[in-house]
Amino acid sequence: MNHKPFQVAMQAVLDGSVTAAERHTLEAHLIACAVCQANWVALSEVHRLFKAEPMLAPRAGFNGRFKARLAQRRSRPRLIGGAVALGLGAVGLAGLVLPLGLGLLYTLVRAAQQPATTLALFAGAGAVGSLVETIVSALYVAARSVLEPALSNPLAWGGALMALALTGVWLNLMRTVLPEGRLR
């Protein structure tokens, strides 16, 4: 037997929102059903106990404490989102700076291994110009050696698109975390 409609009717009777016909149907069912009869006795007792107790007023300052906790909870996701956004930004920046820094370091090591370049560094200011030219040409060769295969590789294009998408996500997170007008 399905007791749920009668349980709902019992609650409606206790709330005072039932018609006379619905109450009569419930009373007829309670005479025939021991399970619902036990539930009715328990619900009636709980209802009576709640009605017997006086309403308590909240302690002084409850409203202020509640508003402070609510404001603190609302600010938490922004802090977490800000940390995530800054972390993604750091990863993106490292992904950009790391290859350039390694290329420069590699170029400097190669230049230091050549005795003529080392002597030129200490010989005078004219040699510094040729070192800068060597570094720039080495960076050009390194960039060309990375970009030529990447332009024909679909995986590289996918990585570039993923980096762009992550940058967009990072900018969106930063826009939601920072106060209005700060990231424009």
Q: Where are the domains of the chain?
A: 4-52, 63-177
Helix (H) / strand (E) element for 114: namely none
Residue 22, number of CB atoms within 10 A of its CB: 15
CA-to-CA distance for 150 and 153, rounded, in angstroms?
A: 5
Burial, 26: exposed, middle or buried (Cβ in 10 Å; 0-12, 13-18, 19+)?
buried
Q: Which pLDDT score is estimated for 105?
A: 78
Reported pTM: 0.33
Q: For each of the chain's 184 residues, which pLDDT tens digit applies?
A: 678 888 889 999 998 888 888 889 989 999 999 999 999 999 999 999 888 888 888 888 888 998 988 887 776 666 667 777 778 888 877 777 777 777 777 777 777 777 776 666 666 656 667 778 898 998 888 888 777 776 777 777 787 788 889 888 888 888 877 765 455 4
Give the gyration radius of the chain's Cα atoms: 38
pLDDT of residue 37: 92
Q: What is the rounded distance in angstroms from the CA atom of residue 13 to the CA atom of residue 22?
A: 9
163 contact partners, CB below 8 Å, separation of at least 6: 92, 95
User: CA separation (Å) from 179 to 10, 81, 167, 183?
Assistant: 52, 13, 19, 8
**Residue 114's pLDDT is what?**
76
